[in-house]
Amino acid sequence: MKITDTRQLDRSGLSLGVMSFDGAPIGNVLGRVTDDEAHELISSAWDLGTRYFDSAPLYGNGLGEYRLGHGLRERDRDSYVLSTKVGRGISPSSLSSRRASCMDTAPLEPSFDYSYDGVMRSVEQSLHRMLTDRFDILFIHDCDRHTHGHDQPEIFRQALSSAYPALESLRSQGVVKALGFATNEVDVCHSALKNTDADCFLLSGRYTLLEQESLDDLLPACQEACVGLILGGVYNSGILATGPVKGATFNDAPVPPAVRKKTARIQKICSDHNVPLRAVALQFAIAHPAVASVCVRAGNQQEQQFDAELFEYDIPTELWADLRAAELIRADAPTPGDVPRTTGHAYSPT
């Protein structure tokens, strides 16, 4: 597979590059990035063949959207796919009072707003920041328990009754082609499948070499409903990129002993076949028929280049067989080279 390959979302007809650009780093989420470095990351991704770019108002309190929009300004708008998210508004806040989640951002602060009018304002602001007249995908962002705790059921009801109808209105106006939810929780996707006609989900961290429980229900359900998945967090925030080294993280937290042990076993099999663990993590994620794209977070051009090379790395079929035999990946987990299933799919190869 090459990163220039595309998959078409059945419900919207959009074609997504199988390796997409995660706009969080250029919003200073991982650390300080200069304007020049952000521009270079966007240009490097483009030169590698990336044509799907994702952002969110949360990334740098609008900074990530601003930089991505300016970085793509001179590109033909019809030649790439652009997505962002709703559910947070950005408003001025003094430097002394704001709660900064990113480094070196403007005196602005996000606040949750899943109301109809709030979504309309958010999209208008994003259009201005990103210097565009339309989006290809809009996601309702973080209406999950991790973000909202005990308030999540009410937040999700508001997302269904107010935020989603706003997005449907924007779709009818031609401002957006596809609608979805961006979350790191499978339950949100299940509820959205039951209550909306969402085209796709951006799911972070729940289908990886270390987490395959979604094979039981979500992935087959998405495949049957022809709802595409864009996967983020395929390295589980780091350990599947670095291996079980000191300081590695699992889902943005210290690595539990059982996870560290399992990762070490996976890495040993990868080493036996002279294949980087990182390559196996990437290619495992994109192999499932429900997955349309893998959104890869790279903090610099070297990481970008490395991921692009690993995405196309030649992995022997024996490695996948060894992982299955050791019960490190499930028997029903698709791997590169498997014959695609014939009952339902989330995308069509293009």
Predicted local distance difference test score (pLDDT) of residue 92:
87
6-10 average pLDDT score: 94
Q: Under a CB-based contact definition with an 8 Å cutoff, are residues 93 and 64 in contact?
A: no
Percentage of residues in the chain having pLDDT higher than 90:
89
pLDDT one-digit tens code per residue, 176-214: 999 999 999 999 999 999 999 999 999 999 999 999 999
55-70 average pLDDT score: 96
Residue by residue, what is the 3-state secondary structure of 249-307?
EECCEECCHHHHHHHHHHHHHHHHCCCCHHHHHHHHHHCCCCEEEEEECCCCHHHHHHH
Predicted local distance difference test score (pLDDT) of residue 1:
83
Predicted local distance difference test score (pLDDT) of residue 338:
79
How far apart (Å, rounded) are the C-alpha atoms in residues 118 and 123?
9
**Active site residues per annotation:** 59
How far apart (Å, rounded) are the C-alpha atoms in residues 98 and 116?
25
112-140 average pLDDT score: 98
pLDDT surpasses 80 at 281: yes
pLDDT one-digit tens code per residue, 325-348: 999 999 999 999 875 543 345 555
pLDDT surpasses 90 at 101: no
63-69 average pLDDT score: 97
Q: pTM (2 decimals)?
A: 0.94
249-270 average pLDDT score: 97
Collect all residues with Cβ–Cβ distance below 8 Å to 258 and sequence separation of at least 6: none
Predicted local distance difference test score (pLDDT) of residue 109:
86
